[in-house]
């Protein structure tokens, strides 16, 4: 079983990682992709990239301690995070997606969109969200 966690290091994404870890422990053939999506381009700073790498490293170390097979992936393909996660899931045959949901104001949601909403509506497999 291939599981994917959309991960940005937030408390909500850490809870999603924990849920995926628990599910993976029930299947000895499970693999968790821990995926961070950055839009890329000129807006990304070296500090942002290094921060994302450190967060992914922490997540991978946590899963390794739990003896769960995993891969940490940082994406910067010029896509919005929701599009990036859905495309990655499709390309890699992911069976289940886990996401942390962060509360946004209505205005922020209109301006920035909702990554979780996009993945829930367009994802190729079941999606579990946590707050």
- Tell me the whole-structure pTM to 2 decimals: 0.90
Please state whether beta strands 70-75 and 96-100 pair in parallel, antiparallel, or not at all (unpaired). Answer: unpaired
Whether 31 contacts 60, CB under 8 Å: no
Whether the predicted pLDDT of 113 surpasses 90 = no
Structure-token match 């104001």, residue found: 105
- Tens-place pLDDT, residues 20-53: 999 999 999 999 999 999 877 667 888 988 999 9
Whether the predicted pLDDT of 107 surpasses 80 = no
Whether the predicted pLDDT of 76 surpasses 80 = yes
23 Cβ contact list (under 8 Å, min separation 6):
1, 3, 30, 96
Between residues 42 and 126, which one has the greater pLDDT?
Answer: 126
Whether the predicted pLDDT of 93 surpasses 70 = yes
Between residues 54 and 117, which one has the greater pLDDT?
Answer: 54
Q: Which fold is adopted by the domain 2-130? A: Rossmann fold (3.40.50)
Name residue 95's beta-bridge partners: none
The residues spanned by each domain of the chain are: 2-130
Whether the predicted pLDDT of 60 surpasses 80 = yes
């Amino acid at each position: 079983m291939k599981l994917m966690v959309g991960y940005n290091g937030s408390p909500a994404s850490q809870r999603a990682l924990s849920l995926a870890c628990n599910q993976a422990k029930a299947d000895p053939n499970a693999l968790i992709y821990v995926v961070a999506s950055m839009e890329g381009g000129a807006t990304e700073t070296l500090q942002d990239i290094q921060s994302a790498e450190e967060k992914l490293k922490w997540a991978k170390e946590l899963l390794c301690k739990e003896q769960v097979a995993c891969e940490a992936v940082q994406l910067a393909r010029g896509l919005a995070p929701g599009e990036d996660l859905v495309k990655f899931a499709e390309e890699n045959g992911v069976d289940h997606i886990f996401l942390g949901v962060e509360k946004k104001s209505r205005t922020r949601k209109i301006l920035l969109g909702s990554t979780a909403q996009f993945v829930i509506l367009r994802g190729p497999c079941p999606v579990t969200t946590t707050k």
